[in-house]
């Protein structure tokens, strides 16, 4: 049975061989890919994956274009003057009978 130091030495030798083989094969694969791209007239854009999900790939966000106007209020608390449009979390002051706070159009 081999000792620990012998096994480590074998491991390092194998890793060196792996790196050499990979470097040789990667060069050949790159040449093959370049040849096929030239043969079929392909560019990097043709080969690169296209982004299809999520947010668009555009740079920044335009706050001015995406800004929404607030909704008109439907309910108002006469004591405090606070209003609620009817969307989102129901305020506590509305209680069980919201029709009491309905703003008359």
**CATH number (domain holding residue 85):** 4.10.430
Q: Is 56 inside any structural domain?
A: no
Asked whether 37 and 47 are in contact (CB, 8 A), the reply is yes
* Residues 12 and 43 grouped into a single domain: yes
Which residues in the chain land under pLDDT 50? Answer: none
pLDDT for 61 equals 59
C-beta of residue 74 within 8 angstroms of C-beta of residue 50: no
pLDDT of residue 67: 79
> What domain count does the chain have?
2
The parent domain of residue 42 ranges over 4-47
The answer to whether residue 92 is domain-embedded is yes
Residue 82 is predicted with a pLDDT of 92
> Is the overall model pTM greater than 0.75, yes or no?
no
CA–CA dist 103, 105 (Å, integer): 6
Per DSSP, 78 falls in state: T
């Amino acid at each position: 049975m081999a000792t620990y130091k012998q096994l480590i030495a074998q491991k390092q030798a194998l890793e060196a061989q792996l790196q050499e083989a990979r470097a040789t094969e990667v060069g050949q694969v790159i040449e093959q890919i370049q040849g096929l791209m030239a043969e079929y007239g392909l560019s990097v854009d043709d080969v690169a994956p296209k982004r299809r999900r999520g947010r668009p790939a555009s740079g920044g966000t335009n706050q001015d274009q995406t800004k929404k106007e607030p909704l008109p209020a439907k309910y108002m608390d006469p004591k405090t003057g606070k209003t609620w449009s009817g969307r989102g979390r129901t305020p506590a002051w509305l209680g069980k009978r919201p029709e009491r706070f309905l703003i008359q159009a």
